[in-house]
Amino acid sequence: MSGDGTLLDGLIGRLARGGEIVLAGFYAEPLTFAFPPAFLREARLRVAAEWQPVDLDAVIALVADGRLRLDGLITHRAPHTDAAAAYETAFGDPACLKMLLDWRPRS
């Protein structure tokens, strides 16, 4: 869910037969990928616009049993007072996986 369409070929190359890639986020350019590797793996593509309760339940279960680690997912943090700059970073800096806006009052 990076929003980086250039990753598709690399991701498809790592899929097991019948594997699935979920496209989410915003893509600045049309998505393209090499068809033969996807064909050979019988890859599935799914588009997700928003999380559903069942998605959250599945993620919680994966984290709980150790099959999914979220270490390093939040790469950037900013106070809510810097929201404009934070959004610019979140949507413009490829190194920003997830931005956390801190809404706690400053002391």
Closest CA to 23 of 5, 42, 41, 38: 5
Q: Given this model, what pLDDT does residue 37 score?
A: 96
Instruction: Please tell me the distance from the alpha carbon of residue 86 to that of residue 38, in angstroms, as a whole number.
Output: 36
Contact 49, 23 (CB under 8 A): no
For the chain, list residues with pLDDT below 50: none
3-state secondary structure of 56: helix
Report pLDDT for 72: 86
pLDDT of residue 22: 86
Domain ranges of the chain: 1-70, 71-107
Q: Residues with Cβ < 8 Å from 100, sequence gap 6 or more? A: 74, 76, 77, 78
What per-residue confidence (pLDDT) applies to 39? 96
pLDDT at residue 2 in the model:
64
Q: What is the pLDDT of residue 1?
A: 59
